[in-house]
Chain A
Amino acid sequence: MSLSLIRTVLLTAFSFCSAARSLSTSVHLQAQGNVSGVMLTCEKWKMPIPFSQYNSKSKKTLAKPGVKNIVLVDGVRTPFLQSGTTYADLMPHDLARAALQGLLNRTGLPKDAVDYIVYGTVIQEVKTSNVAREAALGAGFSDKTPAHTVTMACISSNQAMTTAVGLIAAGQCDAVVAGGVEFMSDVPIRHSRKMRKTMLSLNKAKTLGARLSLLGSIRLAHLSPELPAVAEFSTAETMGHSADRLAAAFGVSRLEQDEFALRSHTLAKKAQDGGMLSDVISFKVPGRDIVSKDNGIRPATMEQLAKLKPAFIKPHGTVTAANSSFLTDGASAVLIMSEEKALAMGYKPKAYLRDFVYVSQDPKDQLLLGPTYATPKVLEKSGLTLNDIDVFEFHEAFAGQIMANLKAMESDWFAQTYMGRKTKVGAPPMEKFNTWGGSLSLGHPFAATGCRLVTTVAHRLQKEGGQYGLVAACAAGGQGHAMVIEAYPQ
């Protein structure tokens, strides 16, 4: 996901807000029993197959000799809220604290049993640059538990989790908490470089005269603030713009994108109503009500979606506010342990975390193609094919990005020309794909999404009875990640 999504809202705030308002009206209507009508509108997208169908399968385990089995004990997240809503007055570490405390509550984990904490974040609050440590202390973890913060754009918490896996595999730790937080309701806005320079010199100025002359050097232009990077640093292109170009490159139409966005919202709504999103914990926001549900899910009609104007490429672009993920506040956390330790502590793990890969490619033209590159690589590593996977959870940065990735994975030409592979890997079947909604509808707090994906795979495997799950995500900088997850025997 993206830093540049900031722009989605900063720049299209007005149109977005009004769209959101009109969309939310429809949510209420549908909540009153009109859901089936919505589903008709997207019948093109196959709905999930009842999980009973998967039960007959029995496949080999991916355990490797000499490699420790590492398990996901459990995962939680705060409700994901559109930024600027109920969380607006918090600080990032408050959200992270909530997720960590929620994890402790959920698992009943003794606080001193945690060897290490790794946390991801993208937009850093300057006061808590090691947000992992601040949140851990605030959440009541032992002050003897070290914590560090990682950043890798939208796959930051994936990086946190794989760091944890690494620490355990290397025999340095047995129980690690990983997670991620993103807080977009407040972002650091800096003074201009010239102003900062003046202010720093002012600190050093000794005499009154020197100070006055420095103050006198301030010009009106120096006062204009610097917003956080809204674009890919290397190319200066905003992510939405890049997504629009990517969609065009793969010939993804506006209709396809709107249909996918609607699918995401519809499925998310169904999952929420059906109580599937059990990783969400309730969170009492100081001074506000208890929050226990994601607030960005709003299935609309195709007509409503079609009315929106393109958000980035005008007038002919196809990416709109409604078919992009929105700016979100939220935090997530997972407990990762070696299998022996988990069993010794009496836990029933949810899943094995198996092979994972990180990939990176051209940040200009292939910015969001991470899943396409990562999927075949991680499958190969695990000795699996696409058909072996029962559950797919891909990060939905933009509907256009997902559709482009699906088309790229389905193309022999792309595989041969750009990936140096003999054949395509194939696109995941839609009935196994993001069936509980995705970042488009649930929300996308950049550094918290990775843990949501992994926890969702574990939960879906349990519910649907499948054995293997695959997580894949793209990230700013043209990077990508994929991980194979194996269900823990029931």
Chain B
Amino acid sequence: MAGVRALGSLSRLTTRRYNLTMFPGVTRRTFRVAACMMARTHVNYEIKGDVAVIRMNDPSARVNTLSVQMQREMTEVMDEVWGNSAVQSVVLISSKPGSFIAGADLNMIQACTTAEEVTLLSQEGQKMFEKIEKSPKPIVAAINGSCLGGGFEFAIACQYRIATKSKKTVLGCPEVMLGLLPGAGGTQRLPKMLGLPSAFDVVLTGRSIRPDKAKKMGLVHQLVDTLGPGLKSPEERTIEYLEEVAVEAARGLAKKQIPLTKEKGLMQKIQDYVMSYPFVRQQIYNTVQKKVMKQTKGLYPAPLKIIECVKAGLEQGPTAGYLAESQNFGKLAMTPESKALIGLYHGQVTCKKNRFGTPEKEVKALAVLGAGLMGAGIAQVSVDKGIHTILKDTTLEGLSRGEQQVYKGLNDKTKKKSITTFERDSFLSNLTGQLDYNGFNKADMVIEAVFEDLSIKHKVLKEVEAVIPPHCIFATNTSALPIKDIAAVSKRPEKVIGMHYFSPVDKMQLLEIITTDKTSKDTTASAVAVGLKQGKVIIVVGDGPGFYTTRCLAPMLAEAVRVLQEGVDPKKLDSLTTGFGFPVGAATLADEVGIDVAAHVAEDLGKAFGSRFGGGNIEFLKSMVDKGFKGRKSGKGCYIYQPGLKRRDVNTEALEILESYKLTPNAAISSDSDIQYRLVSRFVNEAVLCLQEGILANPVEGDIGAVFGLGFPPCLGGPFRFVDSFGADKLVEKMRKFEEVFGNQFTPCQLLLDHAKDPSKKFHK
């Protein structure tokens, strides 16, 4: 469905990059009690000559985190090492393959009830890292795997850093994506290490930095290659090798053979000189502040607080800086934005698991029908995961365009150096483009992405079922047609399932899987497994017109059309929606989705749900389509799109069409805020109704689907979290006001009313 391009920083938040322990606090606490009585379990050390090698390994988790236990043991070990006169230098390393320290223990922060408690946590971290920074014995951080958040702050407090070139090695401070800030000295040390502009870039974007880039930036001093097969497993030996190299470096540092301070380059000197003027720094603060405000519309407090902390440190000295950092960290942890983002993070982790178990047969051979935008996109995200994929189209031109799309998608990755040209070629070797059904007899799954028309889908299904083997799953990629209607002509409806991808497939993280009451559990498990392999965040929903995502979006778009008919300019409509936190404005969204698709879906869902889906006049959409204004793909929609031009002008011809459908706005409910709530409340009400009707399995999937598929404001955490934090009663109150004017389109659903009546009822605990 939706062509939501930019989802804000959150869309880049993936489990692989940002692992925080997900263990409920309870189990952790009981474990901790037991651990106190035992010897150290998380941190131990070995003295190799004059070098102490400190190894971290959290036995209860897949990744290391700076938990209370880890911090306590680390303090103990550090004291012992500092007190040992035989030790001249220290190496800090993780025994876990793939994780140095993935961050602070999120549960530790979530367990706090006041800002002061969180501030205290931050101050403890600051103190610990200050001691590390001032260590009389040089400490080498030997980094393999994720070095993020608190782990990253730990590493940059050390005197020297060596990282492996492993694909799993990433550095960065993603706290901002969780609505927080690096609260253990990150905002203070980074500006000094990297200079102001780079430091802001790292801290404000929260992006992951790969080892080679980190070396260039000066974040790490030395890189170590990953090793292949030897006398031990590659992972094990790589860690050993890293340790060997780090121990040598530590010795060199202790003997002053390796200098701690690097000679500054000319550019660096110039930059430092320029930065020494308060006026210049002030300009940078202002520029960054403006940029942040432009991108976040002021809806995200974390970036602003980060700027504040950096500023305090540089302008008023370290004491003020560290104080600002810890206090702001405390404040941010209590904001609804942070809670929403952390909720999304947890939800995303949940939606990266297959709750239907392991399928009986792994899908190794896939066939995609239709080489259009969607079909080619699905093929692209499959071939680069090693799935043999047939891409079938009916015309040579269509096939050629589709194959070119796959090639371009992969080739763009080589340009960004995320894959090599050789990898591109070997991925492409998994792709077979063809016009016939040759080889379908060996397919484990067929995903059809043909035109959204029931009779075409029926024809395709029958053709496919004639050639595929009995175990093969038939998945249909549709944004609105009920799966059971498509499955009606199937000889084996238990093998039919809906897989609703979002465009562009290689960028959008969400996959909505739709099961009918006949779909077997194994079919579902298999579809989820394929989706996960393709790197998707998955929600599994029940069947019905529009399923979940399209069904929520349709009433909002209907309302958007009405708003346009009431004479609101498309640009104004866009700024109202983005101002609420949507990454893409409603008018732009309609253009991205395609006006024809919107008209089609609106008509279908209108038939299915009746007047509740009314609002804007569908005839307006149809007139647009008649004129050829189908949105971005046709060059004209609400806006005019010119290739190569970033600037978009409002399509005046569309405004002329609007004239003939003009409505008179009701002044009582047409303020900017009212318009925003008219749009959002219809979205949210429909989402809650989906939960009430059982289309949705739980509110978590509802939130994830809305944010990752439709661009619901991440700072609000999704429609369900929004209801929780905004208050169901307040939302109902607003809806009742709109209901008076527009009728049942704004009638709150029963579940929402229940929540409004009983404030203790929450979707998220």
- Cβ of B83 < 8 Å from any Cβ of A? no
Q: Which one of A250, A316, A364 lies within 8 Å of B231 (CB-CB)?
A: A250
Q: How far is the CA of A235 from the CA of B419 in the complex (A)?
A: 11
- Cβ of A281 < 8 Å from any Cβ of B? no
Is B228 in contact with A249, judged by CB distance below 8 angstroms? yes
Is A246 in contact with B228, judged by CB distance below 8 angstroms? yes
Residue of A nearest to B225 (CB): A245
Residue of B nearest to A237 (CB): B225
| Most A Cβ at <10 Å: residue of B222, B225, B241 | B225
Is B222 in contact with A365, judged by CB distance below 8 angstroms? no
- CB contacts (< 8 Å) of A246 on chain B: these are 228, 230
- CB contacts (< 8 Å) of A365 on chain B: these are 227-229, 234
Interface string of A281-314 (1 = CB under 8 A from B): 0000000000000000000000000000000010
Q: Which of A387-445 contact B (CB under 8 A)?
A: 404, 407-408, 411, 413-414, 417-418
Q: Which one of B222, B229, B233, B420 lies within 8 Å of A235 (CB-CB)?
A: B420
- CB contacts (< 8 Å) of B420 on chain A: these are 235-236
- Cβ of A234 < 8 Å from any Cβ of B? yes
- Cβ of A26 < 8 Å from any Cβ of B? no
Is A248 in contact with B231, judged by CB distance below 8 angstroms? no
Q: How far is the CA of A413 from the CA of B224 in the complex (A)?
A: 25
- CB contacts (< 8 Å) of A413 on chain B: these are 231-232
Q: How far is the CA of A132 from the CA of B227 in the complex (A)?
A: 40
- CB contacts (< 8 Å) of B226 on chain A: these are 245
Is B229 in contact with A316, judged by CB distance below 8 angstroms? no
Q: How far is the CA of A292 from the CA of B535 in the complex (A)?
A: 63
- Cβ of B422 < 8 Å from any Cβ of A? yes
- CB contacts (< 8 Å) of A364 on chain B: these are 228
- CB contacts (< 8 Å) of B245 on chain A: these are 316
- Cβ of B736 < 8 Å from any Cβ of A? no
Is B228 in contact with A245, judged by CB distance below 8 angstroms? yes
Q: Which one of A248, A249, A316, A414 lies within 8 Å of B222 (CB-CB)?
A: A316
Is B422 in contact with A248, judged by CB distance below 8 angstroms? no
Contact A315:B222 (CB < 8 A) given known A233-B422, A235-B422, A249-B237: yes
Q: How far is the CA of A418 from the CA of B225 in the complex (A)?
A: 21
Min CB distance, B478 to chain A, in Å?
40
- CB contacts (< 8 Å) of A245 on chain B: these are 225-228
- Cβ of B248 < 8 Å from any Cβ of A? yes
- CB contacts (< 8 Å) of A244 on chain B: these are 225
- Cβ of A188 < 8 Å from any Cβ of B? no
Is B229 in contact with A366, judged by CB distance below 8 angstroms? yes
Q: Which of B231-255 contact A (CB under 8 A)?
A: 231-234, 237, 241, 245, 248-249
Min CB distance, A63 to chain B, in Å?
37
Interface string of A236-253 (1 = CB under 8 A from B): 100001001110111100
Is B228 in contact with A251, judged by CB distance below 8 angstroms? no
Contact A362:B422 (CB < 8 A) given known A249-B234, A316-B222, A316-B248: no
Q: How far is the CA of A289 from the CA of B90 in the complex (A)?
A: 60
Q: Which one of B227, B249, B422 lies within 8 Å of A249 (CB-CB)?
A: B227
- CB contacts (< 8 Å) of B225 on chain A: these are 241, 244-245, 248, 313
- CB contacts (< 8 Å) of B222 on chain A: these are 315-316
- CB contacts (< 8 Å) of B237 on chain A: these are 248-249, 251
Residue of B nearest to A317 (CB): B225
Interface string of B121-165 (1 = CB under 8 A from A): 000000000000000000000000000000000000000000000
Is B241 in contact with A248, judged by CB distance below 8 angstroms? yes
Residue of B nearest to A365 (CB): B228
Q: How far is the CA of A366 from the CA of B227 in the complex (A)?
A: 10
- CB contacts (< 8 Å) of B232 on chain A: these are 413
Min CB distance, B429 to chain A, in Å?
13
Residue of B nearest to A367 (CB): B228
Q: How far is the CA of A24 from the CA of B647 in the complex (A)?
A: 69
Residues of chain B at interface, number, CB under 8 A = 19
Is B231 in contact with A414, judged by CB distance below 8 angstroms? yes
Residue of A nearest to B230 (CB): A249
Is B422 in contact with A417, judged by CB distance below 8 angstroms? no
Residue of B nearest to A418 (CB): B229
- CB contacts (< 8 Å) of A315 on chain B: these are 222
Q: How far is the CA of A407 from the CA of B231 in the complex (A)?
A: 8
Is A417 in contact with B248, judged by CB distance below 8 angstroms? no
- CB contacts (< 8 Å) of A366 on chain B: these are 228-229
Residue of B nearest to A410 (CB): B231
Q: How far is the CA of A362 from the CA of B227 in the complex (A)?
A: 13
Interface string of B173-196 (1 = CB under 8 A from A): 000000000000000000000000
Q: How far is the CA of A125 from the CA of B395 in the complex (A)?
A: 46
Q: How far is the CA of A234 from the CA of B229 in the complex (A)?
A: 18
Residue of A nearest to B423 (CB): A234
Q: How far is the CA of A411 from the CA of B231 in the complex (A)?
A: 7
Q: How far is the CA of A315 from the CA of B224 in the complex (A)?
A: 10
Residue of A nearest to B229 (CB): A418
Q: Which of A162-191 contact B (CB under 8 A)?
A: none
Q: How far is the CA of A244 from the CA of B248 in the complex (A)?
A: 17
Min CB distance, A229 to chain B, in Å?
13
Q: Which one of A233, A236, A241, A417 lies within 8 Å of B229 (CB-CB)?
A: A417
- CB contacts (< 8 Å) of B229 on chain A: these are 249, 365-366, 414, 417-418
Q: Which one of A241, A251, A313 lies within 8 Å of B230 (CB-CB)?
A: A251
Contact A248:B227 (CB < 8 A) given known A235-B422, A315-B222, A316-B222: yes
Q: How far is the CA of A129 from the CA of B225 in the complex (A)?
A: 37
Q: How far is the CA of A27 from the CA of B222 in the complex (A)?
A: 37
Q: How far is the CA of A245 from the CA of B226 in the complex (A)?
A: 8
Min CB distance, A406 to chain B, in Å?
12
Q: How far is the CA of A185 from the CA of B520 in the complex (A)?
A: 69
- CB contacts (< 8 Å) of B234 on chain A: these are 249, 365
| Most B Cβ at <10 Å: residue of A234, A235, A236, A362 | A234
Min CB distance, A489 to chain B, in Å?
41
Q: Which one of B228, B231, B233 lies within 8 Å of A362 (CB-CB)?
A: B228
- CB contacts (< 8 Å) of A241 on chain B: these are 225
Q: How far is the CA of A246 from the CA of B225 in the complex (A)?
A: 11
Contact A234:B248 (CB < 8 A) given known A250-B230, A366-B228: no
Min CB distance, B631 to chain A, in Å?
38
Q: How far is the CA of A366 from the CA of B228 in the complex (A)?
A: 7
Q: How far is the CA of A417 from the CA of B228 in the complex (A)?
A: 13
Residue of B nearest to A250 (CB): B230
Q: How far is the CA of A418 from the CA of B233 in the complex (A)?
A: 10
Q: Which one of B233, B249, B422 lies within 8 Å of A234 (CB-CB)?
A: B422
Q: How far is the CA of A233 from the CA of B249 in the complex (A)?
A: 33
Q: How far is the CA of A407 from the CA of B222 in the complex (A)?
A: 28
Min CB distance, B284 to chain A, in Å?
34
Residue of B nearest to A411 (CB): B231
Residue of B nearest to A363 (CB): B422
Q: How far is the CA of A73 from the CA of B422 in the complex (A)?
A: 43
Q: How far is the CA of A411 from the CA of B237 in the complex (A)?
A: 15
- CB contacts (< 8 Å) of A417 on chain B: these are 229, 233
Min CB distance, A487 to chain B, in Å?
35
Residue of B nearest to A313 (CB): B225
Min CB distance, A267 to chain B, in Å?
27
Min CB distance, B144 to chain A, in Å?
14
Q: Which of A366-387 contact B (CB under 8 A)?
A: 366
Min CB distance, B52 to chain A, in Å?
20
Q: How far is the CA of A251 from the CA of B420 in the complex (A)?
A: 28
- CB contacts (< 8 Å) of A316 on chain B: these are 222, 224, 245, 248-249
Min CB distance, B243 to chain A, in Å?
12
Q: How far is the CA of A362 from the CA of B234 in the complex (A)?
A: 14
Could you give 22 example pairs across A and B, Cβ below 8 Å?
A234-B422, A245-B225, A248-B237, A249-B228, A249-B229, A249-B230, A249-B231, A249-B237, A250-B231, A251-B231, A316-B222, A316-B224, A316-B245, A364-B228, A365-B234, A366-B229, A407-B231, A408-B231, A411-B231, A414-B230, A417-B229, A417-B233
Known: A250-B231, A316-B245, A417-B233. 13 other contacts (CB 8 A): A235-B422, A245-B227, A246-B228, A249-B228, A249-B230, A249-B234, A249-B241, A316-B222, A362-B228, A366-B228, A408-B231, A413-B232, A414-B229
Q: Which 6 interchain pairs have the tightest Cβ spacing?
A: A365-B228, A249-B230, A249-B227, A234-B422, A250-B230, A316-B245
